[in-house]
């Protein structure tokens, strides 16, 4: 085998090695993308299940016995949350999901969130916030009672890079 053939053989081996490394890197990246997608899908499912659960509750604890006629008949904004001794899944009204015994408080103090373990996928932290919002602009939180409440659910997987956030608006109204 001559010098030219040896050089061509070395170049071929280098090109083959580069190609193998490139394919291997692509497979690894594909696995990471698949894992992140799976985590995202489970996160959406966890958030949606909590939103659906809350949608089935009464608008306010005072609307359990009748329809409130005045805003003063609703829970004060600083009292939104479960009543003393009330635990999930026995919540009876929408605002019981406020902070869900966890999540960041109004003072940004982190307290315990719900932990959901999905084997072979990830460990998820889930917390929620309920607040009154402006009826003409639901992205504006109000420090007073309105006929509209917004539930925002946050889900974060330990292996995830982002925190998922989903919201639902609940209005109290009736036909007369």
Q: What are 80-117's pLDDT values in tens digits?
A: 888 888 888 889 999 888 875 443 444 444 444 788 89
Structural domain tally of the chain? 1
The pLDDT assigned to 21 comes to: 75
The pLDDT assigned to 169 comes to: 95
The pLDDT assigned to 102 comes to: 41
Q: Is residue 82 part of a domain?
A: yes
The pLDDT assigned to 12 comes to: 80
Q: Is residue 34 part of a domain?
A: yes
The pLDDT assigned to 175 comes to: 61
Residues 6+ apart with CB under 8 A from 131: 77, 80, 98, 141, 142, 149, 150
The whole-angstrom separation of Cα 78 and Cα 61 is 14
Q: How far is CA 146 from the centre of its chain?
A: 24
The pLDDT assigned to 24 comes to: 72
Q: Is residue 106 part of a domain?
A: yes
Q: Is residue 53 part of a domain?
A: yes
The pLDDT assigned to 85 comes to: 84
Q: Is residue 16 part of a domain?
A: no
Map residue 76 onto helix, strand or coil: coil
Handedness of CA 3, 8, 14, 20 (dihedral sign): negative
The pLDDT assigned to 111 comes to: 47
Q: Is residue 33 part of a domain?
A: yes
Q: Is residue 11 part of a domain?
A: no
Residues in the chain: 176
The pLDDT assigned to 101 comes to: 45
Buried b (16+ CB within 10 A) or exposed e, 76-113: ebeebbbeeeeeeeebebbbbbbbbbbbeeeeeeeeeb
The whole-angstrom separation of Cα 7 and Cα 4 is 5
Query: Which residues form the domain of 154?
Result: 29-171
Residues of the chain scoring pLDDT < 50? 101-112
pTM summary value:
0.77
Q: Return the structure tokens found at 123.
A: 């460990």
The whole-angstrom separation of Cα 96 and Cα 28 is 43
């Amino acid at each position: 085998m001559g010098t030219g053939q040896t050089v061509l053989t070395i170049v071929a081996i280098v090109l083959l090695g580069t190609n193998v490394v490139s394919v291997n890197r692509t497979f690894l990246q594909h696995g990471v993308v698949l894992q992140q997608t799976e985590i995202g899908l489970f996160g959406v499912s966890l958030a949606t299940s909590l939103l659906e659960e809350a949608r089935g509750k009464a608008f306010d604890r005072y609307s359990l016995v009748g329809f409130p006629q005045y805003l003063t008949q609703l829970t004060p904004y600083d009292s939104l949350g479960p009543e003393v001794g009330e635990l999930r899944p026995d919540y009876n009204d929408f605002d019981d999901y406020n902070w869900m015994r966890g999540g960041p408080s109004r003072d940004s103090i982190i307290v315990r969130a719900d932990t959901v373990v999905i084997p072979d996928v990830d460990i998820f932290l889930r917390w929620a916030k309920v607040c009154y919002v402006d009826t003409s602009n639901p992205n504006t939180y109000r420090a007073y009672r309105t006929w509209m409440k917004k539930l925002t659910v946050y889900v974060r997987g330990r292996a995830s890079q982002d925190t998922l956030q989903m919201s639902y608006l609940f209005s109290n109204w009736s036909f007369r």
